[in-house]
Amino acid sequence: MGDKQELDQLFDTIRQLINAWCDRRCLRALRAILRGYPMTSPLTDGWGELLLALMDVRAFARDELTQGERAFVDQCITTIERVMPPTRRRAGPETP
């Protein structure tokens, strides 16, 4: 997992985004982000839900966001992708 300062900054940014979206009643963005925040688990599943929630904000609420907020969402996604615990994905049977 990333260092404490990096994670504190990530969650502070997400809280600021949520507060701004509440003030402006950006309902699509709020509906998407609240799926993954606050995190219900610090394990891979929790990080995965938060990542998917932010990706949904980017995909489905783009028109509600300011240019700066879109940049912050992208930055949060990049941070989570970097600090998220690695997972092993198998696409099919292994071949020798």
For the cut 80, the answer to whether the pLDDT of residue 92 exceeds it is: no
**What integer pLDDT is reported at residue 35 of this predicted model?**
95
pLDDT tens-digit profile of 40-64? 888 788 999 999 999 999 999 999 9
Contact 1, 39 (CB under 8 A): no
**What's the chain's average pLDDT?**
88
- % pLDDT > 70, the chain: 85
CA count, 13 A, side-chain hemisphere, 64:
22
pTM (2 d.p.)? 0.84
**What integer pLDDT is reported at residue 41 of this predicted model?**
84
13-19: list long-range contacts, CB under 8 Å, 24+ apart: 13/72, 13/75, 13/76, 14/76, 16/72, 17/69, 17/72, 17/73, 17/76
DSSP 5-32: HHHHHHHHHHHHHHHHHHHHT-HHHHHH
Tokens 């930055």 locate to 75
Provide the residue ranges of all domains of the chain, joining segments of one domain with +: 4-83
d(CA 96, CA 42): 35
* For residues 54-75, average pLDDT: 97
For the cut 60, the answer to whether the pLDDT of residue 91 exceeds it is: no
